[in-house]
Structure 1
Amino acid sequence: MTKEQLEPISPAEAKEMYLDARKREVSKSTLDGYHYRLKHFIRWCEQVEGIENMNNLSGRDLQRFKTWRRDDGDLKPISLEGQLDALRIFIRWCGSIDAVEPNLHEKFEALMPKLDKTDEQSESILDTEQAEALLEYQRKFEHASRPHVIIELLWHTGIRLGALHALDVDDYDEEAERISLRHRPETGTPLKNGKEGERIVALSAEVCRSIEDWRDYNRHDVEDENGREPLLTSRNGRMNRSSIRDSVYMVTRPCYYGADCPKGREPDDCEAAEYGGYSKCPVNVSPHDIRRGSITHFLTEDVPEKVVSDRMNVGQDVLDKHYDKRDEEVKVEQRRGYLDNI
């Protein structure tokens, strides 16, 4: 098929058609990921290159986009690879609806960044020392506050942001000291892995105390738009994901819990110390970084990989590649502990 035989369509319209075509095939969080990764390409088409018709897209255009996106976002190779791979899949789909030349997606083979083993792994993590310092501060000065409950749950359970957002009051079993994670897409709270992500997670007495005191004294007594009683609430209903993420950015700044800033900044002069600027801190972490830190902590404490895999709902191959941040010295000494008596 030649370009003359293609059917005209704008980049923005093609993206919306693609997302609509995929929405029944993937979870909402996955769909949101597609939107995030593709929005930069649409911005480049519309604002940088003035591309109004996908039919005209060429391999040379894709190379220009790669260079622009790398520099515009100051992206690491692994992040750039993720965005280019999402674009490759989108372009392949566009070929199936006669929006671009059918083989255009094959051009990506030469575009993908060459990654070494360290590039393939994210290094951002909340380590055990930081987590313990933050929780010590929160338990002493902010017990049962909303940020305190968020950090207790994320660190102790290693659950994903979406799973935390999905929790209802009655998902907490006070007597058994555990929470149930449930896939409820029909009322707006799917789990990343759908039904396979459902599980029961045991809690420590300290975490239970923070949940119960939050529930009994500080939680807004409200329902969400589906008549459910969320565990984490705002005045208007269920706390949204972005607000949970902002809370994590706020409290994981070292200056927040009294630690020295490793970058030597002073809070009075730092833009990340201002409301709305917390994400600009160069050393705070995201909810997923807490998950990575939690998994590493459990492994370092000699919890078997199968137990960690089941508790955190992550395959052991993915756990080894992306979540286990123990250094080789720790691993060899742990292996020694198992082998000394053989």
Structure 2
Amino acid sequence: MSDDLDPITPHAAVDYYLNTRQYELADETYESHQYRLDSFARWLTDEEKGDGEISNMNDVDLRTVHAYRVFKREENWPDEDPCNTVSMSGQVSTLRVFFERLADIKAVPSGFHERIRLPKVPDGEDVDDRVLDAERANVILDHLHTWEYATPHHVSFLLFWRTSCRLGGLRSLDVSDFDPDENALSFRHRPDEGTPLKNKLNSERDVSLKPHVAQVIQDYIEGPHRNDVTDDYGREPLITTRQGRPCTSTLRNWMYFWTQPCRLGEKCPEGRDPDECEARRHGYMSQCPVVFSPHPIRAGSITAHRDAGTPREVVSDRGDVSEKILEKHYDQASKRQRMHRRRDFIPDDL
């Protein structure tokens, strides 16, 4: 340990970092950083899993970081799959910015983060090509319409699919953001009131809704399933729980829940017994091998809009995603699907 460094425990260092980034990061990004850094601090202080117990961040060096990368790649925690190249890149990126902030308080040497190399992701591997297709989404929505009509679960899945928004955007909506006269929703960046949008003011937009979708929202607001609650800032959240505005992890779990086939009364594609399947338990639903996380649901929504003929620039504005990122990460159409989309735009005389 260098005499020039000030001691701090791993968990205290994580708390410091998260406190400094709380109002800088979108909710989803903040939660992913918290999740990754909690894992790192847990590993540092675990005598069995870690590289020997480390109680002071001053003692972390490049060999420590390398050992952690090996652990995440080869073993990982019992409730997590080993990291592939893409997920490892995210882990290491977060560690780099973490160490950069720790250098400000002399917990690690200045410039230490620059010596940590990111894993190189081969072209194409950073694209998740697994999406929820429109047919499956409609099966889920039909079930919700029949059995969960105008509940928070129904409205959340419906808006997430129909507007292609992010979970942070869905969470940010207030009752006053719904305009029943125009059949529209307003997404607004309110960082000082706990609901920032990912791209800040650039994420602000108004999104139109089909009349039948707007009717579900109206029935939800006027019906018995919306909890009459306000948040800490006196605002009325559109999506509610009994405790108030849901956190993004709650919304994420709702997406996991309704993309499990067994929740719709269907047989498990993996042949599991629902009564014995651990992936049905709260906190373990993401371990279901056929479940969809929010990203492939959003990607499926965007792809469905493009397949329906919605121009790329419209989908870009509606879903708050640049056309370049949309093309690479979200629009998962096949080459033949893209050909069919272009066909109607080719003049007959050319």
Which residue of 2 is the match for residue 108 of structure 1?
116
RMSD across aligned positions (CA): 2.2
The answer as to 2:327 corresponding to 1:320 is yes
Q: How does 1:23-102 map to 2 (within 5 A)?
A: 23-47=22-46, 48=50, 49-70=52-73, 71-72=75-76, 73=80, 74-102=82-110
How far apart, in 2, do the equivalents of 1:25 and 1:205 lie? 36
The answer to whether the aligner puts 1:338 opposite 2:345 as a matched pair is yes
Q: Find the counterpart in structure 1 of residue 168 from structure 2.
A: 162
What is the TM-score with the length of structure 1 in the denominator? 0.90
Structure with the largest fraction of helix: 1
1:311–1:9: structure 2 CA closer, same or farther, 3 Å change rule? same
Task: Report the counterpart of residue 153 of structure 1 in structure 2.
Answer: 159
Deviation (angstroms), 1:122:
1.9
* TM alignment of 1:175-186, pairs within 5 A: 175-186=181-192
Residue 240 (str. 1) matches residue 240 (str. 2): no
Give SS of 1:153's match: helix
Q: Residue 21 of structure 1 aligns with which residue?
A: 20
1:254/1:260 contact within 8 Å kept: yes
Equivalents in 2 of 1:84, 1:209: separation in Å? 45
Q: Distance in 1 between matches of 2:293 and 2:208?
A: 23
The Cα shift of 1:262 comes to 2.6
Q: Report the Cα offset of residue 277 of structure 1.
A: 4.5
Give the aligned partner of residue 199 of structure 2.
193
Q: Using the TM superposition, give the Cα deviation of residue 306 of structure 1 relative to its aligned residue in structure 2, in angstroms.
A: 0.7
Residue 209 to residue 333, structure 1, CA distance change in 2 (3 Å) = same
Contact 2:178 2:184 in 1 (8 A): yes
**Paired AA for residue 113 in structure 1:** P
CA distance in 2, matches of 1:13, 1:220: 37
8 Å CA contact retained: 1:3, 1:100: no
Contact 2:227 2:241 in 1 (8 A): yes
Distance 1:61 1:276 in 2: 29
Segment of structure 1 superposing worse, 113-122 or 100-109: 100-109
Closer, same or farther: CA 27–256 of 1 in aligned 2, 3 Å = closer
Q: What is the Cα deviation at residue 305 of structure 1?
A: 0.9
Residues 38/152 of structure 1: CA separation in 2 closer, same or farther (3 Å cut): same
Q: Which runs of 5+ in 2 are unaligned?
A: none
Q: How many Å separate the matches in 1 of 2:210 and 2:323?
A: 24
Moved more, 49-58 or 162-171: 49-58
Matches within 5 A, 1:124-163: 124-163=130-169
Query: Deviation of residue 139 (structure 1)?
Result: 1.9
Change (3 A) 1:211 1:304: same
- The aligned amino acid for 2:199 is N
Summarize deviations over 1:70-117 as a string: whole Å, max 9, x none.
2204122111110111102222333444322334334322xx333223
Letter in structure 2 aligned against 1:296: T
Render the CA deviation track for 1:117-164: whole Å, top value 9, x for unaligned: 332012342111110111122223322222111111111001111111
Q: Distance in 2 between matches of 1:269 and 1:64?
A: 36
For residues 292 and 268 of structure 1, do their structure 2 counterparts lie closer, same or farther at Cα, with a shift above 3 Å needed? same
Whether 1:212 and 2:218 are equivalent positions in the alignment is: yes
Residue 60 of structure 2 aligns to which amino acid in structure 1?
L
Please state how far the C-alpha of 1:20 moved relative to its aligned partner.
3.2
Alpha-carbon shift at residue 226 of structure 1 (Å): 2.2
Query: Which whole-Å CA distance do the structure 2 matches of 1:204 and 1:151 have between them?
Result: 15
2:177–2:187 CA contact under 8 A, matched in 1: yes
Shift of residue 271 of structure 1? 2.5
Q: Please give the residue correspondences for 1:201-280 in structure 2 after superposition, counting only pairs within 5 Å.
A: 201-217=207-223, 218-274=225-281, 277-280=284-287
Mapped partners of 1:115, 1:83: distance in 2: 13
CA distance in 2 between counterparts of 1:340 and 1:260 reads 48
Aligned-partner SS, 1:303: coil
Distance 1:37 1:216, change over 3 A: same
Provide the C-alpha distance between the structure 2 equivalents of 1:275 and 1:35, rounded to a whole number of angstroms. 20
State the partner residue of 2:314: 307
Identity %: 39
Structure 1 runs not aligned, ≥5 long: none
Amino acid at match of 2:178: Y
Which whole-Å CA distance do the structure 1 matches of 2:346 and 2:175 have between them?
45
Secondary structure of 2:185 counterpart? strand
TM-score normalized by the length of structure 2 = 0.89
- C-alpha contact (below 8 Å) 1:161/1:288 kept by paired residues: no
Distance 1:87 1:340, change over 3 A: same
Q: For residues 31 and 239 of structure 1, what CA distance do their matches in structure 2 show? A: 16
